[in-house]
Structure 1
Amino acid sequence: MSVTTEVEELYSVIEESARLLDVACSRDKVWPILTVYGDALAHATPVAFRVATGMRHVGDLDCRFVTHPKDRDPYPAALSNGLTAETDHPVGALLSDIRGRCAIDTHGIDFGVVGGFKKVYSVFTPDDLQELSKLADIPSMPRSLAENFNFFARHGLDERVGAIAIDYPHRTVNVYFNEVPAECFESKTVVPMLREIGLPEPSEQMLKLGQEAFGLYVTLSWDSSKIERFCFGVTTTDLTTLPVRIEPEIEQFVKSVRHGDGDRKFVYGVASSPEGEYYKLESHLKWKPGTVDFI
């Protein structure tokens, strides 16, 4: 299948999904992103759509897919094609600095049909999870990673970084932890963890999801020493098996969004932020066993 056909097919699915969700889909916003990375689409697994509750996320539909080849840095392509603006901020140097110090297995990108190009994901090889101290020493990394090192180390997370996501418009970084110690998902641990980093007391729904979680991530920025968000993710092929009520706007997303052949796959997440909790659902259009899950 040609690159043009792959781009046209994915754009058609995005446009249809956005329309069913009453999200304004602009071809001028989406088409350039798909064409820049179009050669990746034939091989990209996963390809996923995501919606979230909370004011920051309302009215957009996000799409994520892996870029190929894995040794190609996707950020220069975004810059040279006007998908994101040049900047002297450290966010613009971080991906290059990570690539210079760590072995990256794959990259992915994330964009919104309204918000445009947002993130680049750098995924490390599963048998070579990165040390926090190594990442914290990167000059362009937010200092909040180093400043919270003791918190992460006390909970057994210091050598378990599986991926980094860089959000260019919001100038934040997500740090994803794999092979997380089981106690990090237990209520008796989650409550004091969130209290220590100054986030609200978790709801019963968040605590129940934690018991089913496969991993967690935190969000950091260059503007604060605090951990800005703390998120659990749960994978399932059947949302009715989750131990929580699904939000109405997410139920509408599930009914509307296109999915591939065979079993559906979802990643459901809850994030704690200073403004309160919000929920996200990622539905996979294409996936295969063994691919890395995010939310």
Structure 2
Amino acid sequence: MSGTPEVAELYSTIEESARQLDVPCSRDRVWPILSAYGDAFAHAEAVVAFRVATALRHAGELDCRFRTHPDDRDPYASALARGLTPRTDHPIGTLLSEVHRRCPVESHGIDFGVVGGFKKIYAAFAPDELQAATALAGIPAMPRSLAANADFFTRHGLDDRVGVLGFDYPARTVNVYFNDVPRECFEPETIRSTLRRTGMAEPSEQMLRLGAGAFGLYVTLGWDSPEIERICYAAATTDLTTLPVPVEPEIEKFVKSVPYGGGDRKFVYGVALTPKGEYYKLESHYKWKPGAVNFI
């Protein structure tokens, strides 16, 4: 599995992209992650994307995300067995298995940084089997902050629209992604109200313009506080020039440096809001297929 041509090709692409972006790339850090899930890249429905962000804490990093083919494998167990992430007594260590026991997970995703290494596992639900946030809040290992914000999700018509959960093991946080978000959630006054109620920074006009064209949003939750840590709005496009906002220089450099696998190029452009301010992220798909889950 570890020596497949698809793994070798993807590693070469990552290595060259990192060089173009002046990001250090170590084979010892990247290759074990790719080889652990190597069969994912040979599958006809393989989805692979690269991402950069403008926040200071993301500087000098190139992230890679890929979808694993639906099977019975536990991707967290694979990560532990390969030494990609340390064992932990923290609730995040059992959360994926508890989600599996209660929910019909359709597929998984893996997220890692060329510099930072293994980061996240995503559990995606089928479009016709979206989950309710209030039900997910009953999972023992789930952060209590999910239940603490149940009224917020219900008020905005989001409670029964959870499409993906993302588990960030180093950060010990959970991302909750909502599908089929009501359009009123993206109206400027609703965005302002949402951010004010959750304690986020006042949005810029650029953020509001991007939010108006967004397709979805997600929140980041942790175990140490009942508050939402971050809210992200994301827009998808095949042409960055159609976005209602200018593209930052570091993101423009990223677009020029990272290749794609042919056909229409797919981008997901997101703005993340925190209590301290906002920052932007761009995901560029190296391999994708119509109907694939979009999240950033």
Shorter-chain TM-score range: over 0.9
Tell me what 1:184 maps to.
Answer: 185
- Residues 2, 36 of structure 2: 8 Å contact kept: no
Q: Secondary structure at the match of 2:247?
A: coil
Query: How far is 1:70 from its partner?
Result: 3.2
* CA drift at 1:69: 3.6
Determine helix, strand or coil for the equivalent of 2:262: coil
- Detail structure 1 runs of 4+ shifted over 3 Å in the superposition: none
Superposed CA RMSD in Å reads 1.2
Counting only pairs closer than 5 Å after superposition, residues 139-288 of structure 1 correspond to structure 2 as 139-288=140-289
Aligned partners of 1:3 and 1:39 also within 8 Å: no
1:99 partner letter: H
Q: Secondary structure at the match of 1:56?
A: helix
2:26 matched to 1:26? yes
TM-score by length of 1: 0.98
Question: Secondary structure in 1 aligned to 2:146?
Answer: helix
Normalised TM-score (structure 2): 0.98
Q: Corresponding residue for 1:108?
A: 109
How far residue 72 of structure 1 moved from its aligned partner, in angstroms, is: 1.7
* Equivalence map 1:49-68=2 (5 Å): 49-68=50-69
Alpha-carbon distance in 2 for matches of 1:226, 1:188? 21
Distance 1:124 1:189 in 2: 27
In structure 1, C-alpha distance between the alignment counterparts of 2:199 and 2:2, rounded to whole Å: 50
Asked if the contact 2:112/2:118 (under 8 Å) is kept, the reply is: yes
Secondary structure, counterpart of 1:41 in structure 2: helix
Calculate percent identity across the aligned residue pairs: 69
Letter in 1 for 2:17: S
Residue pair 2:18, 2:62 contacting (<8 A) in 1 also: yes
**Gaps in structure 1 of 5+ consecutive residues:** none
Contact 1:45 1:291 in 2 (8 A): no
2:5 and 2:140 mapped to 1: Cα distance? 42
Number of residue pairs the alignment of both structures matches: 295
Partner of 1:137: 138
Q: Deviations over 1:53-112 (max 9, x none)?
A: 111111110001111343321000000110000000001010000000000111010000
Looking at structure 2, the residues matched to 232 and 71 of structure 1 have their Cα atoms a distance apart, in angstroms, of 32
Displacement of 1:5 in angstroms is: 1.1
TM-aligned CA distance change 1:186 to 1:290, over 3 Å:
same
CA shift at 1:2, angstroms? 9.0
CA–CA distance in structure 1, aligned partners of residues 3 and 100 of structure 2: 27
Residue identity opposite 1:55 in structure 2: L
Gaps of 5+ in 2: none
